[in-house]
Amino acid sequence: MNQLSLFFIETFIGIFVSGVVIIALLKPLRKILIDICGNAERAGFWVVYSNVMLVIAPLLTIIMFGKSNASLTADFTFYKTAFGCSLFGIFFSLAAIGLQVSKFIPKNINKSNAEDESI
């Protein structure tokens, strides 16, 4: 295989991993962002922004750390590196999104729930 074909395989792996994560998080993320943003239009923007980040981060790690330029065959190490880069990019983008969303979640939610139950 040539380097271009290997690069496309790496890119496909990154997009596939991103797609799986986006599908899994789409509804819960939308609900949380509607809560935080106050309406669906604002939340829609941030959902799309988050989805773009979930695609860009794995692709960026593949471009930076991928092995398509160092390998001439699609062996186990090649696939392992491609998945590793994709998962690292997903982890990085999910950590960034999670940290930002967690800033807006009320910290005293347990106290308010306990008060509501006692009434």
Q: What digits encode the pLDDT tens for the residues 98-109? A: 999 988 887 775
Confidence (pTM): 0.79
Q: What digits encode the pLDDT tens for the residues 46-105? A: 999 999 999 999 999 999 998 887 777 788 888 999 999 999 999 999 999 999 998 888
Domain, as residue range, for 18 = 3-118
Domain count, the chain: 1
| Cα 45 to Cα 50: distance, rounded to the nearest angstrom | 9
How many of the other CB atoms lie within 10 Å of CB of 56?
14
H-type alpha helices, the chain: 3-37, 40-65, 76-102, 109-118
Dihedral over Cα of 45, 50, 52, 53: its sign: positive
| Cα 117 to Cα 29: distance, rounded to the nearest angstrom | 27
